[in-house]
Structure 1
């Protein structure tokens, strides 16, 4: 087990292997496994969530549970193919607390986000997405380097230091927590609108990078 990559990482497979051995913060102790990002090497879009959930921790894949189904539908409605998009998380291990036999989600703290940033930076350097969508405050904190208020920056594209376009929106898990049906549908439409804003912000036609298409 190591805290740093053993050598230069030139592929997503090498990166996943390095993440699997990560001990940079204590979260690895209680998680089933690290959950690496998933998608094509040259995806036009990268979606960054918070951390794996219970289902993702078990499967070893990002966004495979109920939240993943919401994301899949929203991507479809926004005209973005999930299989042509690189999906990942700011933190690669599932942070949780036990409540009886249930593992309840806990938000990563700033230390954990910073310790895991090396892996997200390596994913970005390998995939080289034209546009990144930050899903929620944890992803935004990792990508921007400071805590932001989602409502103030949501859906507004801006250019990162390396030229990548960034769109910040809510995490799709927030939609599942809305009990009122009308409010939930309205929130979903706003989420899809943010994804469409990412399409509009993309500086080149999707499909010119790997297999991504709109």
Structure 2
């Protein structure tokens, strides 16, 4: 089928519960075929902070909730240390289905393509519109592509407040899963925490 895009699957009534229900039936790209389920955003509907990651991982795909795996635990730890109350946060992903390659009994994460990111963007746009956070934390290159365009480089602009609208900002940083893969986890974590602390001062 290819990537027809999520637009036609959006509900007539745009609310977070209606979006979550409608997203369960999304076939806007081919990723729905192999994923267990759609993993939609979760958290406070009037959140001051919105965190946008790449896509669900293996555990998120099974549990149906974002950031519940090892990267989620890393994120929770950093949020607490940065002074960001988890109750004031809405978490979601640029792509709502798990993309993977089977390897034996394991499912190895694969990076979404530009077409898959674009196909899924209507869900993210609707979430941004409804939550309208003061600060949007952009976690990694896939989220940055979805929200800030293909020419944006996280490595060059991480930790910088980027105006989204008057009184609201984006702050880009690495994805917490990158800390888990880093040769020097302590240094990677310190940089991530520093970016989160920038975000904490903006809200």
Please indicate the TM-score interval, normalised by the length of the shorter structure: over 0.9
CA-based RMSD: 1.5
* Partner residue, 1:193: 194
- Structure 2: any 5+ residue segments left out of the alignment? none
* Partner residue, 2:131: 127
Distance 1:111 1:162 in 2: 30
* Partner residue, 2:26: 22
Distance 2:94 2:145 in 1: 9
Distance 2:100 2:46 in 1: 32
TM-score (norm 2): 0.93
CA contact (8 A) 1:137 1:147 kept: no
Distance 1:77 1:177 in 2: 21
Which has a greater percent of strand? 2
**Greater Cα shift, 137-146 or 49-58:** 137-146
Aligned match of 2:114 in 87, 103, 110? 110
Aligned match of 1:9 in 13, 19, 23? 13
TM-score (norm 1): 0.88
CA contact (8 A) 2:10 2:19 kept: no
Residues 98 and 147 (structure 1), Cα distance of their counterparts in 2 relative to 1, 3 Å cut? farther
* Partner residue, 1:52: 56
* Partner residue, 1:91: 95
Residues 102 and 199 (structure 1), Cα distance of their counterparts in 2 relative to 1, 3 Å cut? same
* Partner residue, 2:67: 63
> Aligned with 1:71: secondary structure?
helix
> Aligned with 1:160: secondary structure?
strand
Q: Can you list the C-alpha shifts for 1:117-138, whole angstroms capped at 9, x where unaligned?
A: 0000000111111110000000
Residues 15 and 162 (structure 1), Cα distance of their counterparts in 2 relative to 1, 3 Å cut? farther
Q: Can you list the C-alpha shifts for 1:81-104, whole angstroms capped at 9, x where unaligned?
A: 123200000000000000111100
* Partner residue, 2:150: 146
Query: Following TM superposition, by how much is the alpha carbon of 1:159 offset from its aligned partner in structure 2, in angstroms?
Result: 0.7
* Partner residue, 2:81: 77
Matched ranges for 1:163-182 at <5 A: 164-179=168-183
Query: What is the total number of aligned residue pairs between the two structures?
Result: 198
Distance 1:16 1:147 in 2: 30
